[in-house]
Structure 1
Amino acid sequence: MHAHLLPGLDDGAESMSQALAMVRQMQQLGYQKLILTPHIMGDFYKNTPAGIKATLTALQTAVQQEQIPVELECAAEYYLDEWFVQKIEEKEPLLSFGANYVLIETSYINEPMRFQDIIFQIKSNGYKPVLAHPERYSYLFNRWNHLVEWHENEVLFQVNLNSLTGYYGSESKRIATKLVEHKLIDFVGTDAHSEKHIQFLQKLPATAAFKKLQQLPLRNQTL
């Protein structure tokens, strides 16, 4: 429920051939369904629901032609910027997945202004906020209580599987492992931008947190 495989929309797959290669590799790892989530950021990735859906249709057609047995859907990864706030305030429909879940992200180094207010507005519009990779935000590395409070305020957490392998560094691995131990994870995702990310997933079963992760009541199974 978090992968950047739709070609040409963001910093993920650059071409249809690359997207197909990534879909094939994920299917070989055992994935049966992928919910693809390109970035929507006012400054960089000005994607629209219509454009994302059109690219999804093209990839679905290519996957069928290649006879790869994987189901594809789409949503988006929304960056919490002024453009997102405008969408919420104007009640513009958001690309959600599952039971009206909306995937959101923040700056990696700066805590977003009005975070709690934005979360309140998301929920007031009938959506359920899912914070992408909370273990990767450096402003939270030494603010464990913030994470606990956010989760208690019904902000769902999605952890990147490769964080548990150490791909993003020791601090992200530490936080991800702690989130597993405290059962504060609602979703897991690959956040795959390239074939390298997918290949790195092969190291996941060797991690100490993998068995504990499998025992959590993850919401991925409801999608």
Structure 2
Amino acid sequence: MIDIHAHILPGVDDGPNTIEESMEIIKLAIEEGITDIIATPHVYNPHYNVPAELVYEKINLLTLEINKYELPITIHAGQEIRIQHSTVEKLSDGEILALAKSRYVLIELPNDGIPLYTEQVIQRIIQLDKIPVIAHPERNRIIANNPQHLMKLINNGAIAQITAGSVAGHFGKNVQKTSLQLVDNNLVHAYGSDVHSLKNRPLLFDEGLSYLEKHKRLDAVDIFLENNFRILNNREAIILELGEIPSSKWWKIFH
């Protein structure tokens, strides 16, 4: 299995502080059956800005430790990119990283809203022949209140990644309920742990998948894991037809 969203690089953002903590997360990932992790530290986040050079430097350090103990896992480079007006220019200039050198780019929206320029940035990323992956939309307040906002971004060419902890209930029942509603309407396509630490923001990769299986979302599990593989290998993702969201179930779309 492949984890496409993880904060495992030591001492760069709100992930692990030390290489020892990073290795504890990596060893747990191996126990859960994960063979590849795309490291995605924050960039252009209001609190953290980890440049590409530092991403590669920290991955090299972790890889040395992994090889030292002959652990069966590979770490790949990426970033969780907070959306801004200049995202497209920085992506075009090679200043920010796609996921594992693929066409897929992990984009973070603010938790409490969607910037007015988001749709335009998504369209321009597509014009660069890259595919935006919206990180954890289930934790965005506007999308949770009205998933048609996410549907518009997907109709513009983006895909979305749901978080293991959200599905497993780590962020509360409301986020968990929203997660299942997005899954049921084919509004999410990939799956990531978004792990930050063993305690406060744990891995929960297997726990989230088990919850989906227990609640009869077996097809979703298969598609998430397949799309994670396709993202890592720069192949076209599986995108199912979006569900019909009843107006009685969701808030009407804002204009």
Shift of 1:84: 3.1
Shift of 1:49: 1.0
SS at match of 1:141: helix
Query: 1:170–1:55: structure 2 CA closer, same or farther, 3 Å change rule?
Result: same
Report the equivalent of 1:158.
Answer: 161
Moved more, 186-195 or 94-103: 94-103
Amino acid at match of 1:10: D
Report the equivalent of 2:253.
Answer: none
Amino acid at match of 2:145: N
Aligned 8 A contact 1:103 1:130 in 2: yes
* Identical counterparts, % of pairs: 24
C-alpha offsets along residues 137-160 of structure 1, whole Å, 9 cap, x if unaligned?
012122122122221211110000
Shift of 1:73: 0.6
Report the equivalent of 1:219.
Answer: 227
Moved more, 3-12 or 169-178: 169-178
For the residues of structure 2 that align with 1:215 and 1:31, how far apart are their CA atoms?
A: 15
Report the equivalent of 2:173.
Answer: 170
For the residues of structure 2 that align with 1:150 and 1:219, how far apart are their CA atoms?
A: 18
SS at match of 1:52: helix
For the residues of structure 1 that align with 2:49 and 2:112, how far apart are their CA atoms?
A: 22
Mapping for residues 99-138 of structure 1, pairs under 5 Å: 99-138=102-141
Q: What are the ranges of 5 or more consecutive residues in structure 2 without an aligned counterpart?
A: 233-255
Moved more, 160-169 or 196-205: 196-205
Amino acid at match of 1:214: V
Aligned 8 A contact 2:103 2:130 in 1: yes
Query: 1:194–1:47: structure 2 CA closer, same or farther, 3 Å change rule?
Result: same
Q: What are the ranges of 5 or more consecutive residues in structure 1 without an aligned counterpart?
A: none
Aligned 8 A contact 1:188 1:220 in 2: yes
Q: Does the alignment pair 1:14 with 2:22?
A: no
Shift of 1:212: 4.0
SS at match of 2:122: helix
Q: Does the alignment pair 1:96 with 2:103?
A: no
Mapping for residues 10-49 of structure 1, pairs under 5 Å: 10-41=13-44, 43-49=46-52
Shift of 1:33: 0.7
For the residues of structure 2 that align with 1:156 and 1:192, how far apart are their CA atoms?
A: 20
For the residues of structure 2 that align with 1:152 and 1:69, how far apart are their CA atoms?
A: 38
Shift of 1:216: 2.6
Aligned 8 A contact 2:192 2:205 in 1: no
SS at match of 2:99: coil
Runs of 4+ in 1 over 6 A off after TM superposition: none
C-alpha offsets along residues 118-140 of structure 1, whole Å, 9 cap, x if unaligned?
11221222221000011010121
For residue 6 of structure 2, the aligned residue among 3, 14, 17 is 3
TM-score (norm 1): 0.90
TM-score (norm 2): 0.80
Mapping for residues 187-198 of structure 1, pairs under 5 Å: 187-196=190-199, 197-198=201-202
For the residues of structure 2 that align with 1:82 and 1:66, how far apart are their CA atoms?
A: 43
Amino acid at match of 1:220: N
Aligned 8 A contact 1:164 1:209 in 2: no
Aligned 8 A contact 1:181 1:212 in 2: no
For the residues of structure 1 that align with 2:216 and 2:174, how far apart are their CA atoms?
A: 15
For residue 54 of structure 1, the aligned residue among 53, 57, 61 is 57
Query: 1:162–1:151: structure 2 CA closer, same or farther, 3 Å change rule?
Result: same
